[in-house]
Structure 1
Amino acid sequence: MLLRGDHVIRDAEGNEHETRRPVSAVCMCGGSAIKPWCDGTHKAIEKRRGQRTSR
């Protein structure tokens, strides 16, 4: 999920992460190694499942 502007994101452990970047990518698939941020792992997961990506 892409967020635009300033946000505070709470991870699964309840820790808050502040971002002031113009655009931030948050992990929604649960596979990222840098949660709560997206590292692109969803692309590999989709390919393993045989799905096409539209991203």
Structure 2
Amino acid sequence: MSKVQIKVNDNGSLRVSGEIELLDGEGNVIETKPVFSLCRCGMSQNKPFCDGSHKGNFQSQVRVAKNEEGL
């Protein structure tokens, strides 16, 4: 099994790569590609997938908080 990676893109989607099973609220499998993007802004017409609707209309830049030692 390959390692799953989820990248939080600045001002955009969640980029998912690796072997993963995506389910809807009832537990039904949603077909995916090996790499896909999930909507984070709520504007996509193709939810749960990103369709680029966020461009210019969504701002979020998630960063890992660093402790006092810089770790």
Q: Is TM more than 0.5 here?
A: yes
Q: Secondary structure at the match of 2:55?
A: helix
> Residue in 1 aligned with 2:47?
35
Structure with the larger helix share = 1
Gapped regions of structure 2 (runs ≥ 5)? 1-13, 60-71
Taking only aligned residues, the RMSD between alpha carbons, in angstroms, comes to 2.3
TM-score by length of 1: 0.59
Query: Which is greater in Rg?
Result: 2
Q: Secondary structure at the match of 1:3?
A: strand
Over the matched positions of the two proteins, sequence identity in percent amounts to 40
Equivalent residue pairs, number: 46
Deviation by residue 1:20-54 (Cα, 9 ceiling, x = unmatched): 42x110001111000000000110424xxxx6xxx
Higher RCO (C-alpha 8 Å, min separation 6): 2
Amino acid at match of 2:42: G
